[in-house]
Amino acid sequence: MRILLVSRIDNRDALAFAEKVRTVLEKEGSDVVYDRDTAIALGLPGCSFADANEEIVIAIGGDGTILRAIQQMPRPIPVLGVNWGEVGFLADLEPSEALEFIQNLPLGFSVEERMRIMLSNGDTCLGNALNEGLIVTTRPAKMLKFSILVDNITTEEFRADGLLISTPTGSTAYAMSAGGPIVDPRIQGFLLVPLAPYMLSSRPHLISSDRHLEIKLDSAKPAHLVIDGQKTIGVGSSMTIGVRRSEYPALFVDVKRNFFEKVDKKLRKL
């Protein structure tokens, strides 16, 4: 099996575990390479995601490590996450069980698809998000004005500190902390969560991904669009951002863990 190994690079224990995983897998006959950032941290040669031709990515770290890896993929590669973070909701395995699972992973492993959203301005793609796109002011304590258009109909106008455009996968991340609902990742939809809205009627919306969704920003204050916490784009004070389901979902190795069991274990019992 061809494996690309990714680790968080700010933790020596995580990097040491990555080296252990590589040693074990190579003894099993797998072809293992590090991604470029991990390789630099270890002082070893590595491979960029653009050049990768691996069958699976093993990511050792928290959700940030997994999101960083997915953001760099020019094409979807199945990801297996090993939690080396605080919560690691996207990581299905703990270090104590990871080696045994990886050693017994069959070539015909099953894959779970997770919807991503594509954010655009006109014909220009701004990026794809697995968790969320965040529109937030560049100046603290300054509000932004938003209009929500669904199928070319203005459904809501409000002022707020920002707006989260989340996927069902991202509903257990920032969107949940901002008061949004937990959404089953099998649902195909866009979750909109205003941040500190100035109207009591401004509530989270879950909109079918089959609909035409646009977010119109019209404010005196400039804003940023932050995608999965990994990419920041200046959008000025006036821009219309289109939202649609990405052509390429994220792929995760299915370890047969029930989503709601993960919610109970990782979110309710912290």
Q: Which residues belong to the active site?
A: 63
CB 137 within 8 A of CB 222: yes
Query: Closest Cα to residue 12, out of 38, 34, 35?
Result: 38
Of all helices (H) and strands (E), which one includes residue 117?
strand 117-121
CB 133 within 8 A of CB 230: no
Q: At what angle do helices 95-103 and 12-27 cross, to 10 degrees?
A: 20
Alpha helix ranges (H) inside the chain: 12-27, 36-42, 63-72, 95-103, 174-177, 259-266
Q: How far apart are CA 19 and CA 25, in angstroms?
A: 10
